[in-house]
């Protein structure tokens, strides 16, 4: 059976990446913004895997492992920071983060 062409995966990844980027730029809830960043990382992951499958090369597959590990570490620190923000001001709305504007 014929496989789904690589382009389809790439387009999906590009759409996911753009969604994530849009989300980071327009959403106001810190957690949602954070999830959008993860979406972007996973779009990159999908792109790596699509190209790796097209070429039959393991580098892309390996990359995915490392990206997942990095994303997990980033998530741990990121959520800790979101909790610190919440504790210090009781909200995670990023519009209200403007102590330092001059």
Partner 1 sequence: METYNPLTGYLPLALVFLVAGGMAFAIPLIASMLGPKSVNPIKSETFECGNVTIGSARQRFAVKFYVVALLFIVFDVEAVFLYPWAVNFKALGWFGYTTMSLFAATLIVALAYVWKKGALEWES
Partner 2 sequence: MPSFSIQDFMPIFPAAILAVGAMALLLSEAFLVSVPHASASRGYQAVIGVITAAFAGTVAFHNAFEDPRVVLQGFAVLDPFSSFVTVVVAVTVGLAVLLSAGFLKHRNAERGEFYALMLFAAAGMSLLALSAEFITLFVNLEVLSVATYALTAYLRRGTRPAEAGFKYFILGAFSGALLLYGAALLYGATGTTKLAGMAEVLRAASSGDKAWLVYCGMVLVATGFAFKVAAVPFHMWTPDVYEGAPTPVTALMSAGVKAAAFVALIRVFVALAPGLGPQVPFVLFGGLALLTMVAGNLMALPQRNVKRMLAYSSVAHAGYVLLGVTALFAPAAGTEGHGMGVLSASPLLGQVPASAHADIYKAILFYLLGYAVTTIGSFGVLAALERREDETRGTTWDLDRFAGLAHSKPGWAIAMAACMLSLGGIPPTVGFMGKLLVFRAAVDAGLLGLAIVGVLTSAAAAYYYLRVVVYMFMRNAAEGAAVPERHWQTDVALAVATAGVILLGILPGPVTAWLTQATMLALR
Q: Which residues bind partner 1 (CB under 8 A)?
A: 1-5, 65, 68-69, 72-73, 75-76, 79-80, 83
Q: What is the DSSP letter of 28?
A: -
Q: Which does 17 bind (CB under 5 to 8 A by kind): partner 2, partner 1, none?
A: partner 2
What does 23 interact with, of partner 1, partner 2, none (CB < 5 to 8 A by kind)?
none
41, 81 Cβ separation under 8 angstroms: no
> 44: buried, middle or exposed (CB in 10 Å: 19+, 13-18, 0-12)?
middle
Nearer to partner 1, 75 or 94 (CB): 75
């Amino acid at each position: 059976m014929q496989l789904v062409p690589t382009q389809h995966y790439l387009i999906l990844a590009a759409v996911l990446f753009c969604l994530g980027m849009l989300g980071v730029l327009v959403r106001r809830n810190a957690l949602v913004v954070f999830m959008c960043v993860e979406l972007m990382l996973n779009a990159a992951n999908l792109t790596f895997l699509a190209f790796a499958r097209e070429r039959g090369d393991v580098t892309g597959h390996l990359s995915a492992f490392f990206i997942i590990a990095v994303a997990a570490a980033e998530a741990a620190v990121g959520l800790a920071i979101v909790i610190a923000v919440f504790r210090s001001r009781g909200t995670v709305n990023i519009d209200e983060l403007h102590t330092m504007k001059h």
